[in-house]
Amino acid sequence: MTALIVENRFSDPDRAYRALIEAHRGLSDQKSAALNSRVVLILANHIGDLAVLQEALGLGKQSMEQTIPDPSRLKSND
pTM over 0.85: no
At residue 76 the predicted structure's pLDDT band, cuts being 50, 70 and 90, is low
DSSP H helices, the chain, are 13-24, 29-47, 50-67
Residue 4 lies in a domain: no
Residue 57 lies in a domain: yes
**Cα 59 from Cα 71, distance rounded (Å):** 21
Number of domains in the chain: 1
The predicted structure's pLDDT at residue 69: 64
More confident residue, 67 or 35: 35
Residue 43 lies in a domain: yes
Domain extent, residue 61, equals 29-65
The average pLDDT across 69-77 equals 62
- What are the backbone dihedrals phi and psi of residue 26, each rounded to the nearest 5 degrees, phi first? 85, -5
CA-closest candidate to residue 40, choices 26, 22, 20:
20
Residue 7 lies in a domain: no
Q: Hey, how many other C-beta atoms are within 10 angstroms of the C-beta on 3?
A: 9
**Cα 62 from Cα 65, distance rounded (Å):** 5
